[in-house]
Structure 1
Amino acid sequence: MTQTWQAPAVATPVRPQPRRRRRRAWWLIPSAVVIVATVVYMVSAYAPPDPETSRVDVSDGMWHYVFLVAHVGFAAVATLTGLLQFWPTLRNRYPKVHRWTGRVYFWGGIFPAIVAVAAIIWTSPSGVSNVIGQYTLLGFWTFTGIAGLRAARARRFADHRKWMIRNYAATLTALVTRPMGIIMLMIVLSQANTPQYQNDQLVILHDMASGGIWLSMMITLGIAEYYIYRKYGNGRRRRA
């Protein structure tokens, strides 16, 4: 019986695939420094609690001050734990810590902070436009928080990340109102002698506070949506 000789198969060398370089979130470090410094500044007026050092008028009663201190404390927890949620190393290497800090962000941060501030916004002396702006922000803060929590529980993690970017932008809006308030003050004071203001301090205060809250929301939420679009794209781009 004749056997046909076959040449041994030569293995084709496999070229090693180049390792993809991970993009480093370099912006987190300077952002963290600014955020932490701002939180320390904001909390310093209320720790230890003393109505005399409050940056908000609390002359209408002690309960106003109690709710204000509670809001500042819970909001500080939300700001710091939310910052940790965006740290890639924590999220990728220590998922259990990421989940627990997320729970603290929700139940020890934004939700109690929302309840505390909802009770005192209507007493703001800064005018109706400012009050409406604050309640608008509060509604967005609540909605995005619930949406992010539901997405995480349903294990829709892509949606969870998007909702939490929006929610943390709402969390940071309170910090952004400080520099925006200074900018609005400079703009309004430059027109203090005009017929619109006639050096009326109350009108100047209302416009400064109202412009600050609305401008801060436009900036933080606009940046959040732009970041989501650049990082995740939209449905049409992914299906193409």
Structure 2
Amino acid sequence: MSAVKRNIFSFLKILLIIGFGYFFWLMLKITLEYIPLDPNVSFLMIKQTEVNERPEYLWFFYTHVYTSIFVLLTGFLAIIRKDFRLKNFHKNAGKIYIFLILIFAAPSGIYMGIFANGGFLSKMSFVILGCLWWFTTCKAYQLARQKKFSEHKKWMWRSFALTISAITLRMWKVIIVYLFHPNPMDVYQIIAWLGWIPNLILIEYLIAKKHI
């Protein structure tokens, strides 16, 4: 690799870290809104039916919110391990990432998807997203256990593409609302799918082109 390409690659890595750091901070601010526990703040204000009629809803919600922020961080650190010589940390971060998704984040996300706003289309999207998130992460774990690290890497990228749907979903929401001012329920139906399908398409393209 030429010096110019190395410099460009290094610059892009720095931009990636800065970009992720910014969006991670935004997600952290959202998470902190739910500390201390209060069922009358932010997103929960529009979920009062579930809060009042389903006592377990809050526990699934808090489980999802509190674990997902750590999933974002450990997933990102695991993915950048080669470029920043974090091999040992990659292994530990990956274990935390996989454990949190399989046991807490994905199952709670699937449950919440059943009660998502926006009607049947939104509910279906979020349930499918949760199931795919669990499956891709489980597949990555199985391949690591089998020491098939090349395939493991591909499935971890697929899993992380679904992980960052928490970010891309909110980005699409801002763009769509700013440009088109649609009905709120229509927004939910659109971003429910846009939040993760383009992510997976991009990752599959990069895998096919052997860029990752």
Q: TM-score range by the shorter chain?
A: 0.7 to 0.9
- C-alpha RMSD of matched pairs (Å): 2.5
Matched residue of 2:40: which SS?
helix
Distance 1:64 1:44, change over 3 A: same
Asked if structure 1 preserves the Cα contact closer than 8 Å seen for 2:31 and 2:65, the reply is: yes
Do residues 47 (structure 1) and 35 (structure 2) align? Answer: yes
Q: Deviations over 1:166-213 (max 9, x none)?
A: 1001000122111212333345536xxxxxxxxxxxxx2332101012
Matched residue of 2:195: which SS?
helix
Asked if structure 2 preserves the Cα contact closer than 8 Å seen for 1:58 and 1:65, the reply is: no
TM alignment of 1:211-222, pairs within 5 A: 211-222=190-201
In the alignment, residue 109 of structure 2 is paired with which amino acid? Answer: V
Asked if structure 1 preserves the Cα contact closer than 8 Å seen for 2:74 and 2:97, the reply is: yes
1:131 to 123, 128, 135: 123
Asked if structure 2 preserves the Cα contact closer than 8 Å seen for 1:149 and 1:160, the reply is: yes
Do residues 145 (structure 1) and 137 (structure 2) align? Answer: yes
The structural deviation recorded for 1:129 is 0.5
The structural deviation recorded for 1:38 is 2.4
TM-score of the aligned structures, taking structure 2 as reference length: 0.83
d(CA) in 2 for partners of 1:182 and 1:92? 33
Do residues 158 (structure 1) and 146 (structure 2) align? Answer: no
d(CA) in 2 for partners of 1:122 and 1:115? 11
Structure 2 gaps of 5+ residues are: none
1:227 to 197, 202, 206: 206
Matched residue of 1:55: which SS?
helix
d(CA) in 2 for partners of 1:111 and 1:92? 29
Aligned length: 201
Do residues 116 (structure 1) and 108 (structure 2) align? Answer: yes
Matched residue of 1:34: which SS?
helix
d(CA) in 2 for partners of 1:179 and 1:103? 28
The corresponding residue for 1:10 is none
The corresponding residue for 2:69 is 76
Asked if structure 1 preserves the Cα contact closer than 8 Å seen for 2:101 and 2:134, the reply is: no
Asked if structure 1 preserves the Cα contact closer than 8 Å seen for 2:133 and 2:162, the reply is: yes
Greater helix share, structure number? 2
The structural deviation recorded for 1:149 is 0.6
Asked if structure 2 preserves the Cα contact closer than 8 Å seen for 1:188 and 1:208, the reply is: no
Distance 1:230 1:111, change over 3 A: farther
d(CA) in 2 for partners of 1:92 and 1:116? 32
In the alignment, residue 117 of structure 2 is paired with which amino acid? Answer: P
d(CA) in 2 for partners of 1:140 and 1:116? 13
TM-score of the aligned structures, taking structure 1 as reference length: 0.74
The corresponding residue for 2:21 is 33
Asked if structure 2 preserves the Cα contact closer than 8 Å seen for 1:148 and 1:163, the reply is: yes
Q: Percent identity?
A: 23
The corresponding residue for 1:64 is 57
The structural deviation recorded for 1:232 is 4.4
The structural deviation recorded for 1:219 is 2.3
In the alignment, residue 110 of structure 2 is paired with which amino acid? Answer: A
d(CA) in 1 for partners of 2:173 and 2:86? 39
The structural deviation recorded for 1:127 is 0.7
Distance 1:92 1:41, change over 3 A: closer
d(CA) in 1 for partners of 2:18 and 2:208? 23
d(CA) in 1 for partners of 2:106 and 2:154? 21
Q: Deviations over 1:54-78 (max 9, x none)?
A: 3133323342122111101111111
Asked if structure 2 preserves the Cα contact closer than 8 Å seen for 1:137 and 1:217, the reply is: yes
